[in-house]
Amino acid sequence: MGRRVGFQDVTEQSPIGSGFNAASTAAEVIGGQDLSGKVAIVTGGYSGLGLAGVRALAQAGAKVVVPARSAEKAREAIGDVTGLELETLDLMDPESIDGFAQRFLATGRPLHMLLNNAGVMATPLIRDSRGYEGQLSTNHLGHFQLTARLWPALRKAGGARVVSVSSKGHGFASVNLEDPNFERREYDPWKSYGQSKSANILFALHLDTLGQAEGVRAFSVHPGIIMTNLARHLDESATKRIFITDERGERVIDPASGHKTPEQGAATMTWCAVSPKLAGEGGVYCEDCDIAMPAAPGRDGGVAAWGTDRALARDFWALSETLTGAGL
């Protein structure tokens, strides 16, 4: 739930002085830690910041499972990274999620780190087989079901962490409990994206509440602004508006303003997965390798007020259980 203040646990959104910053990389935040014997699952771990995180975890000795819709395509993308297991998973397909989880549970292994990293951004309106809106389905509901199905392995770890990759884009919209799938309101790709990223934050908040007694802690993160395949649905004007380029049209890397390399973008989720400084912490939203401040006018970044609303997190969790048929 967070730090203990007096006799009450609270979610305290304030930095703890991690020793890292916006320019830190995934490898740097792991440092000299030996992750041998640890098992991690990283969705979307075959490209972009997911692959950067996978490389850092594997190089530190962790066994990393990388699920993808096409294991063959993932194998081509990953190249020479050792210590990985490639698996098949489609986050928009409930049967695929259950199948992946069953195969992992059958190995009898504990799961020490679950990094729910895969996602889509600002897509045209698509729906999964249940009729659920695509961004909510991929970014949140798929990961919700996956985490629920893997719960026995997380508990077995005796100290697991679940990291939910959100975005500063959560500020575009909170979650809509009455019409989450845009069935009665006009679809807006950015509001849909914002809702799905707010869902990631609320998911981590309530998961941490439920999991703390079982030794499972949860975090949500803003990785930064990274040019990856996530941006494939953006038109040229949106791409230019979001990603800084120089006079030659080359991408500008400026971590202080949030514009990062994949290795820098992977740092915060990796820090949340492994940092000893987060012992006893959970349910918080993090950015630039530290716990973020609440959002405030005139200050870039931070978590919106609804992202720390425990009642909203509880209600949205209940809705997610209803939509997926999954729960802890």
Distances (CA, A) of 15 to 7, 154, 207: 21, 27, 21
CA proximity to 163, closest of 175, 177, 146: 146
Is 193 among the residues known to form the active site? Answer: yes
278: CB partners within 8 A, 6+ apart: 16, 161, 217, 219, 271, 272
- HSE-up of residue 263 (Cα within 13 Å, Cβ side): 10
Amino acid (one-letter) located at 216: V
Task: Give, in degrees to the nearest 5, the angle at Cα 133 between 98 and 282.
Answer: 65
- What is d(CA 14, CA 78) in angstroms, rounded to the nearest whole number? 36
303 SS3 class = strand
- What is d(CA 274, CA 56) in angstroms, rounded to the nearest whole number? 11
163 SS3 class = strand
Place of tokens 């739930």: 1
- HSE-up of residue 178 (Cα within 13 Å, Cβ side): 2
- Eight-state DSSP code of residue 281: -
Let me know: does 317 contact 206? Beta carbons within 8 Å.
yes
Which uninterrupted H or E stretch holds 116?
A: strand 113-116
Catalytic residue among 46, 132, 187, 193: 193
Place of tokens 């203040």: 5
Q: Would you please indicate which residues are annotated as catalytic (active-site) residues?
A: 193
